[in-house]
Amino acid sequence: MDRARGRLHMSPRAKIRDRIARALVVHAARVAAPDHAEWISAIAHELEHLPSGEAALSWALGCVFVSYTGRLRVMIRSSADWPRWLKLLEMLLCLGPVTAYFVFVSVSTVQGYTLFIPAQGYTQVEEGLIFGSATLIGPVGLISAFRTLFSRTYGPGKLLTTLLWLLAAWALTAFVALLVYFRLGLVAWCGMLLPFALLPATAVAHLAWLGSIRRRAVRPA
């Protein structure tokens, strides 16, 4: 039974799901990138031929997913055309704080200062090595970003991109472990994960994208 006929016999819960599904496809249509609009309306129109309830809701969620990913793809593609100063600003904002922290950790460790209350069983040097390596994404990413932005042909290769992703993952792991170990609150989670994990990961994603464009550009036809 399709929705037009089935709507008369719907349970209250199915009616709510139906309304949510309709609201979701309307939202998806609003968010859709112009070159995706026809596809989003194809998914939205098909909703009218689905049974009400869970299937319709799942279909509508898929519609939102397709709309969001399409929009995101357009945004990422257009970022390749950003002026150099804007890309540079993005990289400095994303990798600057973690680079500054890397310098702080390195200097503190060399001079023998304690970074945090020493964790059980860890010496100052070990702690310095852990957080120095966790923030290594900063200087490595920044050097790679400068080379990419100021060279016409250079782009991070697959090996460097993989290394950057591994460093970003390690940064996330180390800072989550720190937050869990000291049982810190939500503000500390946001304050640490944003500059030391999420922003560097964003920079790595953008660098990887720029690198893939450069590789495609220099690949022989």
Partner 1 sequence: MARNRRLSRHTLALIAALTQRPRAWHYGYELSRITELKSGTLYPILMRLCDRGSLESKWQPPTEEGRPPRHMYRLTAAGVAFAREALTGRRTAHGWTAPAGGYT
CB of 31 to partner 1, least distance (A): 14
How many angstroms separate the CA atoms of 32 and 55, rounded?
22
48 touching partner 1, by CB under 8 A: yes
CB of 120 to partner 1, least distance (A): 45
The torsion angle over the Cα atoms of residues 155, 159, 163 and 169, rounded to 10 degrees, is: 100
Residue 3 or 87 with smaller CB distance to partner 1: 3
65 touching partner 1, by CB under 8 A: yes
How many angstroms separate the CA atoms of 164 and 218, rounded?
22
CB of 10 to partner 1, least distance (A): 17
Cβ–Cβ contacts within 10 Å for residue 127, how many? 20
Q: Binding partner 1 by CB under 8 A: which of 19, 49, 77, 158?
A: 49
221 touching partner 1, by CB under 8 A: yes
52 touching partner 1, by CB under 8 A: no
How many angstroms separate the CA atoms of 175 and 217, rounded?
37
26 touching partner 1, by CB under 8 A: no
How many angstroms separate the CA atoms of 77 and 92, rounded?
20
For residue 5, what are its two tokens? 């006929």
Please, are residues 207 and 168 in contact by the beta-carbon 8 Å criterion? no
Residue 84 or 216 with smaller CB distance to partner 1: 216
CB of 215 to partner 1, least distance (A): 13
Packing angle of the helix pair 199-218, 54-79 (nearest 10 deg): 70
Considering only 38-46, 94-102, 103-111, 123-131, which stretch makes contact with partner 1 by CB under 8 A?
Answer: 38-46
Within 8 A by CB and 6+ apart from 119, the residues are: 127, 181
The torsion angle over the Cα atoms of residues 211, 198, 96 and 151, rounded to 10 degrees, is: 10
Considering only 48-56, 141-149, 157-165, 172-180, which stretch makes contact with partner 1 by CB under 8 A?
Answer: 48-56
**Of all helices (H) and strands (E), which one includes residue 182?**
none
63 touching partner 1, by CB under 8 A: yes
CB of 12 to partner 1, least distance (A): 24
Q: Binding partner 1 by CB under 8 A: which of 13, 19, 23, 46?
A: 46
Residue 62 or 97 with smaller CB distance to partner 1: 62
For residue 131, what are its two tokens? 């957080």
Residues that bind partner 1 (CB under 8 A): 4, 38-39, 42-43, 45-46, 48-50, 58-59, 61-63, 65-66, 69, 221
